[in-house]
Chains A and B, each alone.
Chain A
């Protein structure tokens, strides 16, 4: 009896020590990790427990993510198309009527050695006429003409580094000075216009991306703020029993993360559906034009970036809202 009294006496004295939670680094890390996975799961359940309002929020988020993403994809596709045109910027030299085929050939060979010229191709009046004849609608017009009205043409492909206005213009002026050359035409102006439009579109897309990203942050932030207001009492009690701000904030951060992640995934689904819908009509269009225009989607890497960005923005919105509102919720 005396022995057991003694034993209990020591236990009594060591009590405060026994009251401390596990404090080795590994057990604390494990507790932290356990809490994260627990909270991550609980916050998903909480989202599902209010399906209608969660769905509304997620829908708003997915639209806000879809819009800039779609614009970015559109711009990328246009840039891609004009990029193909870049490879083949051409100058057309319309020769004087009296220049013979052999002289035209020789001139083409001569021009090929000029600086800034990638290649040249001499198209004789006869060849030009033939190619016109194969074109739909031109057949009869060509046949009705008494003689071939077409001049010989040297098609000059410019090398790519020459694509600034000045250098291309210099080349055109040099060509037009040749006595055999009647008219020198260069199709640079339309390309520059398209480029300006692409530049504008890219800026617009960047601006819209920024604005709607802020929108995502604000929408998530507001949703989280409402959630914090609803759980006010719980937060205060949790703080009273010794919860850190980080502990209290955690479920809200996960909630924001899920909102952003799910919103981005739905945006990705919407974009994929839109791509399929457009591909069908675009196929018909490219068949009409006889050229292969293919729509580029987001690709794996960009899809991943989109989803991660959505999650990050959601987290950021939740962080802004919770760090502000949870700090203010002190036990009173």
Chain B
């Protein structure tokens, strides 16, 4: 679960990025974070990732009050969050495989598990055949998918994405959103920052709308125009229902990969 309590963020420059933002995202929920550019979407995500600290208010992630988290526990919290960046943050001095393996190496997984999990994650984003390539040789959409594979490879309970479809065409954007949906259906809490309103409208998920650092919308979005607060998690029961079906597909496909890798 992710919870903001009256969070404000003022940068040293005096600019107010967030003003009195409160919301809560339940475990297993999927939501969009939207608003015009400069509205505070990135700041909000950066607060969750501990790249910034709030000037006022409390940010809670996974029942941890982030301001009270000892510094040495920050890496452990980051391991629970898969993050997809707009600029990918991939390393071009190593292969696609090694990029995706990084979170597992950092967390001390056994080499045997690393191979299996990396291939399962790459298969999920349909890039298994490119594991030996350098990410520099891939297209923008493919690079984004490598970033997604890296974000989910250690099966984190949280998945955050900052403009993941920023530079992609509508078809690719839809594919990537579909991927996020699939992760959500296996229990991952997903928060996607995007200004792609058309995409949000089609997705039937909760939207947090920021305007000039204030939260002006917080609720289920079906029509794409009307927002009502106080409906947190209303459509959870619906999504839970089709979760099981989709989950079965997901699990069986990754199980196949697991057994292939084991062979």
The stretch of A9-17, A78-86, A101-109, A133-141 in contact with B is A9-17
CA distance A31 to B206 in the complex (A): 40
* Interchain residue pairs A-B with the least CB separation, the first 10: A242-B79, A31-B108, A19-B155, A242-B78, A241-B103, A21-B107, A243-B106, A16-B157, A244-B75, A15-B187
Q: Which residue of A lies closest to B248 (CB)?
A: A8
Kindly identify which residue among A19, A237, A243 contacts B156, using a CB–CB cutoff of 8 Å.
Answer: A19
Q: Which residue of A lies closest to B154 (CB)?
A: A19
Cβ contact within 8 Å between B155 and A15: yes
Greatest chain A CB density within 10 A among B51, B76, B107, B243 is at: B107
> With A15-B187, A22-B110 as given contacts, are A241 and B155 in contact (CB-CB < 8 Å)?
no
Interface residues in A1-52 (C-beta closer than 8 Å to B)? 4-5, 8-9, 11-13, 15-16, 18-19, 21-22, 27-28, 30-32, 34-35
B residues neighboring A (CB under 8 Å) = 49, 51, 72, 75-80, 83, 89-91, 93, 102-111, 113, 150, 154-157, 186-188, 243-245, 247-248, 251
CA distance A9 to B187 in the complex (A): 10
B76: shortest Cβ distance to chain A, in Å? 7
Cβ contact within 8 Å between B103 and A32: no
A residues neighboring B (CB under 8 Å) = 4-5, 8-9, 11-13, 15-16, 18-19, 21-22, 27-28, 30-32, 34-35, 233-234, 236-244, 247, 330-332
Kindly identify which residue among B51, B108, B155, B247 contacts A18, using a CB–CB cutoff of 8 Å.
Answer: B155
B52: shortest Cβ distance to chain A, in Å? 9
Cβ contact within 8 Å between B108 and A21: yes
Kindly identify which residue among B89, B150, B186 contacts A15, using a CB–CB cutoff of 8 Å.
Answer: B186
CB neighbours of A240 from chain B (8 A): 49, 78, 83, 89
Cβ contact within 8 Å between B154 and A21: yes
> With A5-B248, A233-B91, A240-B78 as given contacts, are A28 and B51 in contact (CB-CB < 8 Å)?
no
Cβ contact within 8 Å between A241 and B109: no
CB neighbours of B186 from chain A (8 A): 12, 15
CA distance A8 to B111 in the complex (A): 27
Q: Could you list 7 examples of A-B contacts with CB < 8 Å?
A: A5-B244, A16-B157, A22-B110, A240-B89, A241-B103, A243-B106, A332-B51
CB neighbours of B157 from chain A (8 A): 15-16, 19
Cβ contact within 8 Å between A238 and B80: no
Kindly identify which residue among B72, B104, B111, B187 contacts A244, using a CB–CB cutoff of 8 Å.
Answer: B72
A311: shortest Cβ distance to chain B, in Å? 26
CB neighbours of B77 from chain A (8 A): 242
Kindly identify which residue among B51, B93, B106, B108 contacts A241, using a CB–CB cutoff of 8 Å.
Answer: B106
CA distance A282 to B168 in the complex (A): 79
> With A16-B157, A21-B107, A234-B91 as given contacts, are A241 and B247 in contact (CB-CB < 8 Å)?
no
Q: Which residue of B lies closest to A241 (CB)?
A: B103
A37: shortest Cβ distance to chain B, in Å? 12
